[in-house]
């Protein structure tokens, strides 16, 4: 059997070397939410940090693992917003310049935060994947290193530190994980299957941004012409091939949820748990609302982002 690309030793080590501002996050059963969902639900809250998302874990571990190798290279990334914030934060901490490519219609709260941390943000292309192509072209022309979420191993291994913490609570029937570029589910899934093989690892994508779902189901890369969903963090049109391969053997299933279910999930988590989340960050809860088969089970999910604008709060949570 071919060795998995993600190292269990690195995942375990990442939990101890990542900046503590991102680790040791709350995990608990919110009883009012569990009662409303009809499932025993443990929340892993990854929004209580300077960038309000889980992405800092992977970005910080990437920086610690590659600091010497890329010391003399410029760093470039593409983002829907949260990964760019994570890279901007760790690059500032390490006195490294950073160029970020993002779509012209990206969340302006996330754009402003990236710039406030000193990154140069270039808004090019009508969606995330188009922005990524501009970033790759720039790197090909200049020799800069393109830091790719879902492809660079250390990013996924750093995200796996969430599972190292989560699984200290015991085993679950299933862990529901938002599925975008794949770093979160591959990192977490690799560790979960190591310590609790019987626990199902289930990804959650959007019905209108289903490229990762289709790629996983078919075992080959499936691109879509669009990825139109309110959940920008999981709006993938062109999957990262390495991430799809990494999912094989550790992910049991991928479910699709509607934008309406995502809105309902944000509202119910706000009402029952008092937590503000963004659409991509709440995908696991949306899956419980849409799939009856998940009711009555012992579940866990990651609330992995809370970067929404004041206007979105008014629109989705009031």
Q: Which of 281, 297, 107 is nearest to 204 (CA)?
A: 281
Average pLDDT over residues 287-297: 97
CA 41 to chain centre: 19
Q: What is the percent of the chain with per-residue pLDDT over 90, rounded to a whole number? A: 94
* DSSP β-bridge partners for residue 240: none
Q: What is the pLDDT of residue 3?
A: 83
CATH of 8-53+154-317, one of 1.20.1630.10, 3.40.50.1100, 3.30.70.890, 2.30.30.100: 3.40.50.1100
Q: What is the pLDDT of residue 13?
A: 98
CATH fold label, 55-152: Rossmann fold (3.40.50)
pLDDT 10s digits, 143-165: 999 999 999 999 999 999 999 99
Do 8-53+154-317 and 55-152 come out as alike in CATH topology? yes
The pTM is what? 0.96
**pLDDT of 2 higher than 90:** no
Q: What is the pLDDT of residue 66?
A: 94
E-assigned strands of the chain?
Answer: 27-29, 40-45, 75-79, 98-102, 120-123, 145-147, 174-178, 200-206, 253-257, 298-303
User: Distance (Å, rounded) from C-alpha 21 to C-alpha 298?
Assistant: 29
Average pLDDT over residues 263-267: 98
Q: What is the pLDDT of residue 174?
A: 98
**pLDDT of 1 higher than 70:** no
pLDDT 10s digits, 69-126: 898 899 999 999 999 999 999 999 999 999 999 999 999 999 999 999 999 999 999 9
User: Distance (Å, rounded) from C-alpha 233 to C-alpha 180?
Assistant: 6
- Would you list the domain boundaries of the chain? 8-53+154-317, 55-152
* Distance linking the first and last C-alpha atoms of the chain: 51
Q: What is the pLDDT of residue 196?
A: 97
What strand order describes the sheet that includes 120-123? 120-123, 98-102, 75-79, 145-147
Angle among Cα 297, 299, 304 to the nearest 5 degrees reads 155
**pLDDT of 318 higher than 90:** no
pLDDT 10s digits, 24-79: 999 999 999 999 999 999 999 999 999 999 999 999 999 999 998 898 899 999 99
Q: Name the helix (H) or strand (E) containing 217.
A: helix 211-218
Mean residue pLDDT across the chain: 96
């Amino acid at each position: 059997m071919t060795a998995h690309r993600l190292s269990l030793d690195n995942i375990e080590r990442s939990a101890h070397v990542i900046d503590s501002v991102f680790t040791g996050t709350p995990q608990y059963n919110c009883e009012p939410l569990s009662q409303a969902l009809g499932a025993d639900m443990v929340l892993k809250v990854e929004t209580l940090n300077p960038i309000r998302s889980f992405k800092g874990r992977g970005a910080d571990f990437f920086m610690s693992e590659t600091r010497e190798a890329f010391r003399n290279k410029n760093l470039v990334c593409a983002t829907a917003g949260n990964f760019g914030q994570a890279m901007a934060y760790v690059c500032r901490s390490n006195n490294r310049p950073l160029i970020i490519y993002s779509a012209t219609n990206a969340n302006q709260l996330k754009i402003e935060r990236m710039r406030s941390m000193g990154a140069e943000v270039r808004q090019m292309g009508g969606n995330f994947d188009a922005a990524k192509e501009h970033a790759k072209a720039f790197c090909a022309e200049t020799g800069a290193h393109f830091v790719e979420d879902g492809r660079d191993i250390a990013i996924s291994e750093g995200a796996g530190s969430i599972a190292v913490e989560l699984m200290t609570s015991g085993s679950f029937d299933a862990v529901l994980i938002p599925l975008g570029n794949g770093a979160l589910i591959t990192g977490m899934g690799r560790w979960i299957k190591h310590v609790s093989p019987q626990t199902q690892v289930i990804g959650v994508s959007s019905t209108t941004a289903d490229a990762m779902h289709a790629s996983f189901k078919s075992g080959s890369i499936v691109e879509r012409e669009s990825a139109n969903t309110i959940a920008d963090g999981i709006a993938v049109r062109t999957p990262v091939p390495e991430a799809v391969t990494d999912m094989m053997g550790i992910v049991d299933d991928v479910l699709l949820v509607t934008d309406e279910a995502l809105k309902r999930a944000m509202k119910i988590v706000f009402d029952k748990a008092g937590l503000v989340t963004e659409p991509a960050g709440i995908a696991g809860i949306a899956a419980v609302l849409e799939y009856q088969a998940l009711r009555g089970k012992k579940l866990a999910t990651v609330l992995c982002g809370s970067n929404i604008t004041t206007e979105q709060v008014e629109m989705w949570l009031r």
